[in-house]
Amino acid sequence: MDSLRVSAIIQARMGSTRLPGKVLMPLAGRPVLWHITYRLKKCRTIDDIVVATSDLKEDDKLAAWCSKNDIPVFRGSEENVLQRFALAIRSLDPEFIIRICGDSPMVDPQVIDQLVTHLVKTGADHCIGDKKTPTIHEGFSPFSRQAFERLLAEAPDDPVAIEHVTAYFGQHPENFETTTIPMPREHWFSGARMSIDTPADLHFMNEIYARLDVPAGEADMADVVRLLKDNPDLLSINNHVHQKAATDKTFKAVIRCDGDEQIGLGHVVRCLALAEELRDSQSVGVSFAMVSGKPGMDLVRNAGFPVIPLTDQTNEDVWLGKLIRTRKPNALILDVRSSLSPALVRQWRENGLLIATIDDPSDRRLEADLAFYPPVPQVKEMDWSGFTGQLFVGWEWVLLRNQFARSPEFHGRVSSSGRSLSHPPELLITMGGSDPAGLTLKAIRALNRVKSSFHATVILGSGFTHDDELLRLLEKVTFPYKILRNVEDMAEVMKKSDLALSSFGGTAYELAACGVPGIFFALTDDHARSAGLFEKQGIGINLGVHDSVFDQDVVRAVESLIQNLTSHDSLVKNCLKKMDGQGAKRMANKIYQNVAILS
């Protein structure tokens, strides 16, 4: 810009708290960081485009990408962004700097040029868009070299300055002159998240590009605004994600759980529900520590969370202790049936780590700050001597995925006449992600003896291993059926069902949230006791432990619900009274509140 040098410094790293590796994730076929640099190159006022990242090994991949794409890189402290900026600024020696967020792939070249031009013209410290008219823009902030040097001198240890740099200007208007310019009217819009912090945000951006049908990097912001005004439903993709404020502390949590063909995937599924709520609503960075189970680890990775596996012969106590020392989480959430030492858990808690346990029958629960349980009778029978934490028991603390929380009501199946059964009724068979006991096969054999008409939907999870036997069995059935594999929106499938045959576990609570009466097989005596509560509360039928259940028991239970409309409708109503699907939100709130207190 004439003789004045303007440098755009992109703040980016691979170790994002909520979505690790996001800067190189694909958006419209190109990495997020490519989008940013491509759009910045269109600016008339910018002389340098550089990346400021950390000196951690995990950012070697980011530095290599920059080198391949001729983008200079400055590397420094992972936690001190302010010092990273200082390294770049001292080397480039610009009069003006633009802080660019590495998670904002739709930075606007024309608006950036307008801000820089006005900043130079006025001689102010900092320039932003007029706050009176909210706009679509996020992720760029120009300021003067003089303002930065004062910031570096006045606030080298301020948390906001260290992490967010220019956010400090807004917090201290008495020390820095901020000037504003009006934003283009065609860019006026509020309610859209235009930064990428979670998988939902990336989905939102990809959907914008798909709807606009333009090449990577060419999404015009006026077109984006028109698209969102014409299609407000797009905002629902990520409007549940919490926008972290500059003053918010960054918290991290480690969830310890497993899921495989033997123990099933229920622990992983419910922990993912909690993890997504912590990440999206509380801005907590969540990692999973897992010992066994490729199906479970795949589920976690596909949901966008990092997995730290036990890869050697180290015992669980040593491995998890080392992980806590290196990762330095604020909370450890335990949902395991392993031999993890209660004494070690106590030591971690005494060292300031928040401990939360989920449905834990072991003595580890006594060392927890927070212990959560569904409303099962076993909790009252446990010895709670010495427990000093908080105990939460009830239907309201059941962990369910967000799809059940969004649609907890029973939609459309109860007509004005009170009849709720379809004709013929829709029967769901769902035995969990792996079905280790082969209960799907047992259910189908029994259903072939049911005389009443029905349609069956068979759900098979990613860990199901009985395919050959299932195919042979289905060749002999007389009822119509369909098979669904690896269902993502289970709530939608359940809401279309009238009743279900299910193994008892997390699925039982999901069915209740959707208003579907369940007929339950139990894998263990403990599960049978819990399923007995469902029968006692009038929201299901308990068949007992699966190896003591005969075909005629299944037939009798199914026929009773199909033939007795009053009984069926009563079960439906009781289900909906008990379950609202908000357990994950409540649990995440409670964990976050207690972490904040400890911190």
In this model, does residue 199 exceed pLDDT 90? yes
In this model, does residue 139 exceed pLDDT 60? yes
What does the pLDDT look like over 286-327, one tens digit per residue? 999 999 888 899 999 999 999 999 987 789 999 999 999 999
What does the pLDDT look like over 73-129, one tens digit per residue? 999 998 899 999 999 999 999 999 999 999 999 999 999 999 999 999 999 999 999
Segment 406-430 mean pLDDT: 60
Confidence of residue 263 (pLDDT cuts 50, 70, 90): confident
What does the pLDDT look like over 483-541, one tens digit per residue? 999 888 899 999 999 999 999 988 999 999 988 999 999 999 989 999 999 999 999 99
Amino acid at 575: C
pTM: 0.85
Q: Which residue has the tokens 């927890």?
A: 368
Largest CA distance in the chain: 89
Segment 422-426 mean pLDDT: 85
Pairing type for strands 73-76 and 331-335 reads unpaired
Contact 373, 583 (CB under 8 A): no
Q: H-type helices in 231-356, by residue range?
A: 266-282, 294-302, 316-327, 342-350
Confidence of residue 213 (pLDDT cuts 50, 70, 90): very high
Instruction: Give the integer Cα–Cα distance in Å for 479 and 562.
Output: 15
Out of 32-41, 292-301, 383-392, least confident range: 292-301
Note the pLDDT of residue 465: 85
Confidence of residue 429 (pLDDT cuts 50, 70, 90): very high
In this model, does residue 419 exceed pLDDT 70? no
Confidence of residue 578 (pLDDT cuts 50, 70, 90): confident
Confidence of residue 2 (pLDDT cuts 50, 70, 90): low
Instruction: Give the integer Cα–Cα distance in Å for 131 and 125.
Output: 17
Instruction: Give the integer Cα–Cα distance in Å for 118 and 21.
Output: 35
In angstroms, what CA-CA distances link 523 with 70, 373, 436, 439, 506?
59, 19, 9, 9, 13
Segment 468-481 mean pLDDT: 93
Amino acid at 464: F
Amino acid at 451: K
Instruction: Give the integer Cα–Cα distance in Å for 474 and 460.
Output: 14
SS (H, E, C) 31-73: EHHHHHHHHHCCCCCCCEEEEEEECCHHHHHHHHHHHHCCCCE
Instruction: Give the integer Cα–Cα distance in Å for 459 and 492.
Output: 13
Residues forming beta bridges with residue 274, ordered by sequence position: none
- In order of their start, the domains of the chain are 6-237 (3.90.550.10), 252-402+583-598 (3.40.50.11190), 409-578 (3.40.50.2000)
Instruction: Give the integer Cα–Cα distance in Å for 539 and 567.
Output: 10
